[in-house]
Amino acid sequence: MTIQQLKVDLGDQRSYPIFIGSGLLNKAECLTPYIRGRQVCIVTNETVAPLYLQKLENLLSEDYQVSTLILSDGEKYKNADTMMQIYDHLLEKKHNRTTTLIALGGGVVGDTTGFAAATYQRGVNFIQVPTTLLSQVDSSVGGKTGINHPQGKNMIGAFHQPQAVIIDTDVLKTLPARELSAGLAEVIKYGLINDAEFYEWLEKNITILLSVDPVIMTEAIARSCQNKADVVNQDEKESGIRAILNLGHTFGHAIEAAQGYGQWLHGEAVAAGMLAAVDLSVRMGWVNKIEVDRLSVLLSNANLPVKLPPNMSTDQFLSLMIMDKKVTDGKLRLVLLESIGKAVVTEEASKENVVATIRACR
C-alpha cells in the first residue's frame, strides 16, 4: 500500500504533515526529518510499550540519544501527577531545548506528552505516533494538548502543534474491539459535521471497518484527518468554526466526568452525546426525526452506545455541561446540526429543550 500524505497548513513553521499507511514504524524517512537536535524522549504506556516501543527504539537508537518513559495506561492517569513524571524524566536525563518528544500511544499519551512539550523549557518539539483509531483521527491532529481536572475534562492545556503525525495502520490489528468502536465514533462525527457524502460511505462500510480491512480503514482515516485538517486550517485555536469538532462532546464530557474517567471510553461518551445533539437539533426544528433513527442504526452497527447513562440525573447533566469550555458568560454553547454534513455552534437551545433531550435519550 502506498503512503498517503496530508498537510495541516497553518503557514510559517506550524504546518506539518500527516503520514498514513502500513508499516510506517519501520520507515525512518517519515520520522527522522522532523526530529530536531540529537536528543529524543519516547513517551509511551505499559500497554503499548511491549508491542511497539522496540520498533521505534531500533529506528532511532543509532543516530540519536534516546530515552524512554513508560507511563501507566488509562484516562485516569491524564493528570498533573503524570505530567510531573514526564518533567522529572526530562530533567533527570538532562534533555535540553532542542529535544524532541515522541508520543507513542493513544490520546492520553498524546495529550499529556504534547502538553509537556508545550511547557518544558517553555516549549520543545514533539511528534505524534498515535496507536488507537480515536487518537489517529482526532487527538493527534490539531495541536490540542492537556490534562484532566477532577471537575472537568481537558480544562488545563495548551495549543502546541506537532512536527508530524505518523499513522501506522498496522497497529490497529492489536487494538481491542471496544477501542476500535470508540474510535469509529469520532470518524462518524466528521461525516455528521462536515461531509454528508462520507457519512453515507460510512453507513455502507461500517461492518468492513470493524474487520479492520486495511484499504477501507486507510480511506476512513485519511478522510477523517482531511476533514479535521480543513477545519483546523481555518481556525487553529478554536475561536470560531473549530468548535464544530466538538459535536456530542458537551454531553459526552459530562458523562465521562460523572462516571469516572475511563469507565466510559471517550468515543463511547461522544457517541451517546452525538445522538443527544441530533435529538436536540430535531427539537430546534433543524433536522428531521429520521436522522436520529439513522444515526442510532449507524452507532449500533459500530457497537457504540445509543443511550445516555440512566444513573445520571438531569440536574447532574446540566451542572456538568455548564463546565464545558465552550460556555461563555454563563451561556451554554452547543454544537448542533442544521443538516447532515453541516454543524453549527449555537446558544439558542432552551433549557427546556436540553432537559427534554436528556430525558428522552436516557
Per-residue pLDDT reduced to its tens digit, 98-127:
999 999 999 999 999 999 999 999 999 999
User: What is the dihedral angle through the alpha carbons of 230, 18, 212, 183, rounded to the nearest 10 degrees?
Assistant: -60
Return the percentage of the chain with pLDDT > 70, whole number. Answer: 98
Q: Are 246 and 208 in contact, with CB atoms under 8 Å apart?
A: no
Percent of the chain clearing pLDDT 90 (strictly above): 88
pLDDT in the model for residue 113: 98
User: What is the mean predicted confidence (pLDDT) over 25-47?
Assistant: 95
CA 346-352-355 angle, to 5 degrees, is 90
Nine-digit cell string for 189: 462525527
Judge whether residue 341 has pLDDT over 80.
Answer: yes
Residues annotated as part of the active site: 122, 144, 186, 228, 238, 242, 246, 249, 253, 266
Tens digits of per-residue pLDDT, 154-193? 889 999 999 999 999 999 999 999 999 999 999 999 999 9
Give the burial class of 69: count Cβ atoms within 10 A of its Cβ; 0-12 exposed, 13-18 middle, 19 or more buried.
Answer: buried
pLDDT category, 322, cuts 50, 70, 90?
confident
